[in-house]
Amino acid sequence: MSSGKPSALDEYVARIDRLPVWGLSYALLWAIGIGYFATLYDAVSNLGLALPYIPFINTTQASIIVSIGLAAYIIGSIGLGLVADRIGRRPALIALFVLLTIGSLGMALSVNYPMLFVFRFIEGVGTGASLNLAMVYISEFSPSSKRGKYGNWIFISGWIAVGLGTLLVAFIVTANETIGWRIAFGLAAVLGLISTVVVSIKAPESVRVLIKKGKYQQAENLVEGIERVSMVRAKVSTLPPPKIVSYEQEQVSPLKILGESKFLKRLIGLTVFWFFIYFIQYTSTGLGPTFVKAVVGLTPGQYAEYIRLLGFVAVGATIISFAMLGFIERTDRRILTQVGAIGFLVSSYVTTFLILNKALIPWFITYFLLEFVVNPPYLAGYLMSSESFPTTARSTGFAITDGIGHLGGVIGPLLLFPLISIVGPLYAWVILALPVPFAAALLWFTVPKTVGVRLEEVNEAMRQRGAKTSS
């Protein structure tokens, strides 16, 4: 892996890697967390629960609203991912939060289907980029021994949205069926605005990007400041010597790097995984309440109870995200994705069977418990996507895997009701979930173990070893 004298980037990476704790502003960490909360809140919590209460759309239009947002995710994830790699992480972060804010506000104020469609698309561009860039940004400022921990902080904020955010929306939309859905969308706009302001003030550019642009003094000042803050927080007077390892940093196209066999394999494996996860997940969260209202035949009172119980179900996602702090740095990411993928298949059959039989309490208990199984794959997958590509192509690699993966979320909602008309509601949901365990199994053959390993060791170092072998 060594190619001679270590570069400036090698030194700065090693200096960050030895930090005992987070060295940037905690306000920044909170702001990205709030933005990630707004992202998952918009993507998972509010939309599915709000759609049945919007008076000017039908079930077909509801399916399209879910799908168009996810199509926009792809544009945002890949487009702003390329911006992050070519121009910088900071401007891309600011842009995504601006788009998320504008889109959410426009949805809250929508008066017809076309207006809702347009602003859902704008919001989707920002949301898709957030899923990519939040993890990449945090990963690049975290020491390898703490990367999962700080990544999980961001993940927790999102899964608080999935849990407590969903619960909040459930009570908002059932408390006032006329304007509740507008309030639900408006809340995301407020959170997006907070993130936009704080990130604009507090977020520095990534050290890796600064070095790539030749801004060495700015990188030095940034790393010195990070070290001082980290030492004060950890109450230490000195830091251990940096373990500098030399990695070649070629100035080549991200797409060229991703086309190399070892990274192309990872790209394909992660893309397939995300495609089928989103295929079932966004269909469930986006159209689940619409499906129950249109197909199951609950009374208005039962339906309101179902919406509130669904809010409590999602709290399980918040609980497991906190619990993962205890094992995320010790558990192979691929184990978490495999177990969770099997959970998706089990959940699709059992919970659909129970709700079709209008067994609300057994449905609630089962669904709540299964949340502890089906949620860990998200953090594991996001971490693998942010860890599996070299610095020059990291945002682009994540963007492509997560972005193209969202095609699953585009297609799944459009297939649900046609499948129901062919095979019935129970087996329609099972068909949607069936590929997920196989997609998770593919990761064992395409993605390396990354727990506790420096990003450059599983990327640049492997790339250089491959180059030496071929020569």
Give 372-385 pLDDT, tens digit per residue. 899 888 878 888 88
Angle between helix 315-323 and 147-160 (nearest 10): 170
Contact present, 329 and 388 (Cβ < 8 Å):
no
Q: DSSP readout, 25-90?
A: -HHHHHHHHHHHHHHHIIIIIIHHHHGGG-TT--HHHHHHHHHHHHHHHHHHHHHHHHHHHHT-HH
Q: Cα separation of 160 and 45, whole Å?
A: 10
Ranges assigned E (strand) in 201-278: none
Helix and strand element counts for the chain (H, E): 23, 0
What is the structure's pLDDT at 3? 43
SS3 content of the chain, % helix, strand, coil (to 5): 80, 0, 20
Please provide the distance, in angstroms rounded to a whole number, between the alpha carbons at the two ends of the chain: 14
The values of phi and psi at residue 408, to 5°, are -60, -40
* Residue 154 identity: I
Structure tokens at 161: 């949205």
Q: How far is CA 59 from CA 48, 51, 227, 291, 410, in A?
A: 12, 9, 54, 9, 15
Quick one: DSSP state of residue 359?
Answer: -
All residue ranges of the chain with pLDDT < 50 are: 1-6, 469, 471
What is the structure's pLDDT at 115? 97
Q: Cα separation of 161 and 46, whole Å?
A: 9
The residue assigned the tokens 């990963």 is 139
The values of phi and psi at residue 109, to 5°, are -95, 0
Provide the CATH number for the domain formed by 25-203+253-470 in this structure. Answer: 1.20.1250.20
Q: Which of 127, 117, 144 is nearest to 61 (CA)?
A: 117
* Residue 315 identity: V
Q: Cα separation of 425 and 160, whole Å?
A: 30
C-beta pairs of 356-365 under 8 Å, 24+ apart in sequence: 356/296, 356/425, 356/426, 358/296, 358/297, 358/298, 358/302, 360/302, 360/305, 360/306, 360/309, 363/309, 364/309, 364/312, 364/313
- Report domain extents, the chain: 25-203+253-470
